Chains A and B, each alone.
Chain A
Amino acid sequence: MALGNATTLTKLFVVSLMMFGFGFALVPFYYKICEVTGINSGAEQVLVKNTQVDTSRWVTLEFDANTNAGMPWQFKPAQRIMKVHPGQLVQVDYEVVNTSDRAIVGQAVPSYGPRRAGAFFKKIECFCFTPQTLAAGERRRMPVLFVLDPSMDKDVNTVTLSYTFFDTGAQAKTTELQKDLPRG
């Protein structure tokens, strides 16, 4: 009898210790469940709540990338063409490589075609907001996150977003070069 009580006691004590551990195990467990079933995706919930999307029309977006003359960077969008609804949250990645053997600071400047479409690009996040420093040989993927304002004119069906990187570190040289460039 005494042995029986001690055995049962030990078993139950181990169970309660395991349940203490289980309390902590619940933390990764819940995260995993949410990840697998996708029931706790914050981004998705933001999208669901966005009722401004105009699903009745499509706009074709073209992405273009250039570097200023003589700048030793390779710069290109991950995707050239995309079809979106106005109001939809859009993300597009650009890839940039510094092919020189020194660090260079660059600043991207956007331009739009047609030009007045620029007013309807509501950018949430863009690599063009700040100067970018790339070490020698560095490769980087940079996002642009934006919403195309649904109030954009109905007759605009294709918009081009073009970025040009300028070397901000080489001010003097740039001004020299600019002299040679045609105006406009």
Chain B
Amino acid sequence: MSTATTHDAHHEEQRSGLMRWVFTTNHKDIGTLYLLFSLLMFMVGGAMAMIIRAELFEPGLQFVQPQFFNSMTTMHALIMIFGAVMPGFVGLANWLVPMMIGAPDMALPRMNNWSFWILPFAFAMLLSTLFMEGGAPAGGWTMYPPLVLQTGNAFPFLIFAVHLMGISSIMGAINIVVTIVNMRAPGMTLMKMPLFVWTWLITAYLLIAVMPVLAGAVTMLLTDRNFGTHFFNAAGGGDPVMFQHIFWFFAHPEVYILILPAFGIVSQVIPTFARKPLFGYASMVYATASIAVLSFIVWAHHMFTVGMPVTAQLFFMFSTMLIAVPTGVKVFNWVATMWKGSMTFETPMLFAIAFVCLFTIGGFSGLVLAIAPVDIQLHDTYYVVAHFHYVLVSGALFSIFAGIYYWLPKWTGHMYNETLGKWHFWLSVIGMNIVFFPMHFLGLAGMPRRIPDYALQFTEFNQIATVGAFMFGFSQLIFLIVVMKAIKGGEKATAQVWEGAEGLEWTVPSPAPYHTFETAPVVK
């Protein structure tokens, strides 16, 4: 296999220009494609967030119609989840998993090319709905029937775009599992793998288990609307709440798909800049696995208001709270790794520390929402919006920033501009808190989500949030500049890049050559 791959790859190198990227089977090229695609989608989804916040700057309708506003919230979520965060993590996995385990490439390079190139088509389909009669999907990213069945011409585009994203994720996940299971260098036992590889292995299993369930759920929506089935149609003996059960059976593991690789990245970054090995490696692995297993039995905590019996509410409430235990172990281990370490605060470390602090806040508001009687009050308010943005923006997104700053010198061979990086960090972290912290108060006061208008007493907090949103949004342009500058040039990076960096990826020169570990390294 490895000789065949290398042989193909050598042909690849002879291609030039655009075709190199279309036909590439090289894990580094595909990783780059994924990351650039993720960056593009991040900007598109971010622009939608700016429209949402601009509309909410004042009560009443200013800039957009309610239907379009709802399209924006729906599309912002779909694009950020499936277009920005997931491809961002897959891009990091493509670049780093083979280098971290001493493999020459991903196990299935052609499938890898497919996994990526499906995505631009999926999102072209999804974004094209913005220009359709009836507008883009506006029923929320959760696609609850019967509301979603009222979508106009965009409906089949939404369904098939989700199908394509699912196929892409499943193929990517299968590739990562096969690579990690079969392609590790001699001596790289499972319990010696870097934590980023471990978290991705578990994430990939979650993806294989739940993405097909989402595909099934949206297929049922499609047949309900177009082919006369009654899965979710009460008139035909179905049940609309059934969709929510199936959807959240997918979507709760999905939120861990969005955060487990983040745990992995932070577990790589913190030991480097604390100059200490990771505290409690084995407990980190077991905690990750526990979170993944528990993620399958908590789905109905998203549905406390559908009229569940008290026994079921209690079960889902307590099982949800149980997840705080392995997550607490992880936070403890990160803090313990920093304890008495010789810490320095380069940009990746700053993002990683912000991750630990702010993700913990998001985790705590999650615990508040896990309490069934409280959730009935807070369901579908801005408190929920505040909660999931603390875990997805300062959680998933900040970890991706940390990862990119951390490995960018390895990819480009140049150090990024540390001053600009620090500006990006501070503006992002302050902006992010200005946007999302007031939302806790708005939610507690009862402001409902997904509505373009609000009662007058919510004005001040909404104005603060909008100011923060624009601060956060525009500071991402600094990130764009930092990345472009590092690609073009800058101070030469050494092979190890960071003084405290350890692992196989730091043993190859910077920038990493097109082919690495063609002869497997021996891990002691």
Binding site for B on A (CB under 8 A): 1-2, 4-5, 8-9, 12-13, 15-24, 26-27, 30, 39, 45
B317 to chain A, nearest CB (A): 15
Nearest CB in chain A: distance from B206 CB, A: 11
Q: Cα distance A16–B173 when bound, in Å?
A: 10
Would you call B308 an interface residue if the criterion is a C-beta within 8 Å of the partner chain's C-beta atoms? yes
The 5 closest A-B pairs by CB, nearest first: A23-B216, A20-B212, A19-B212, A23-B213, A2-B1
Q: Which B residues from 96 to 123 make CB contacts under 8 A with A? A: 107-108, 111
Q: Which residues of A sit under 8 angstroms from B208, Cβ to Cβ? A: 12, 15-16, 19
The answer to whether B181 has its CB under 8 Å from any CB of chain A is yes
A24 touches B107 (CB 8 A): no
A22 to B183, CA, bound (A): 30
Given A5-B108, A12-B174, residue A27 in contact with residue B231 (CB < 8 A): yes
Residue of A nearest to B167 (CB): A16
Fill in one digit per residue for B169-181: 1 if any A CB lies within 8 Å of its CB, else 0: 0100010011001
Contact status A24-B181, CB under 8 Å: no
Per-residue contact bits, chain B 185-214, to A (CB 8 Å; 1 contact, 0 not): 000000000000000000000001111111
Q: Are B212 and A12 in contact (CB under 8 A)?
A: no
Q: Which residues of chain B in 372-395 are interfacial with respect to chain A, using CB atoms and an 8 Å cutoff? A: none
CB distance from B98 to the nearest CB of A (A): 13
Contact surface of B with A, Cβ cutoff 8 Å: 1-2, 4, 107-108, 111, 170, 174, 177-178, 181-183, 208-217, 220, 231, 242, 245-246, 249-250, 307-309, 311-312
Residues A5 and B182 in contact, CB atoms below 8 Å apart: yes
**Contact A19 B182, beta carbon cutoff 8 Å:** no
CA distance A18 to B208 in the complex (A): 10
Residue contact B178 to A9, C-beta cutoff 8 Å: yes
CA distance A160 to B163 in the complex (A): 63
A27 CB contact (under 8 Å) in B211, B246, B307: B246
Interface contact B245-A8, CB-CB below 8 Å: no
Tell me how far the C-beta of B309 lies from the nearest C-beta in chain A, rounded to whole angstroms: 4
Interface contact A16-B308, CB-CB below 8 Å: no
Known: A8-B178, A20-B213. 20 other contacts (CB 8 A): A4-B182, A5-B108, A8-B182, A9-B178, A15-B209, A16-B174, A16-B208, A16-B211, A16-B212, A18-B212, A19-B210, A19-B211, A19-B213, A23-B216, A23-B246, A24-B216, A26-B245, A26-B249, A27-B242, A39-B309
The answer for the CA separation of A139 and B80 in the assembled complex, in Å, is 63
Interface pair A45/B307, CB less than 8 Å apart:
yes
The reply to whether A26 and B213 contact each other, CB–CB distance below 8 Å, is yes
Contact of A5 among B170, B178, B212, B215 (CB under 8 A): B178
Residues of B within 8 A of A23 (CB): 212-217, 220, 246, 250
Output the nearest chain B residue to A12 by Cβ-Cβ distance. Answer: B174
Do B174 and A26 have beta carbons less than 8 Å apart? no
Q: Are B177 and A5 in contact (CB under 8 A)?
A: no
- For the complex, what is the distance from the CA of A2 to the CA of B250, rounded to whole Å? 32
CB distance from A1 to the nearest CB of B (A): 4
On whether the beta carbons of A12 and B177 are closer than 8 Å, the reply is yes
Closest chain-A Cβ to B120's Cβ sits at a distance in Å of 22
Chain B residues whose C-beta falls within 8 Å of the C-beta of A16 in the assembled complex: 170, 174, 208, 211-212
- Give, as a whole number of angstroms, the nearest-CB distance from A17 to chain B: 7
22 contacts between A and B (CB under 8 A): A1-B1, A2-B1, A5-B108, A8-B107, A8-B181, A9-B107, A9-B108, A12-B174, A12-B177, A16-B174, A16-B208, A16-B212, A20-B215, A20-B216, A22-B212, A23-B217, A23-B246, A26-B246, A27-B246, A30-B242, A30-B246, A39-B308
Q: Which residue of B lies closest to A20 (CB)?
A: B212
Shortest CB-to-CB span from B236 to chain A, Å, is: 13
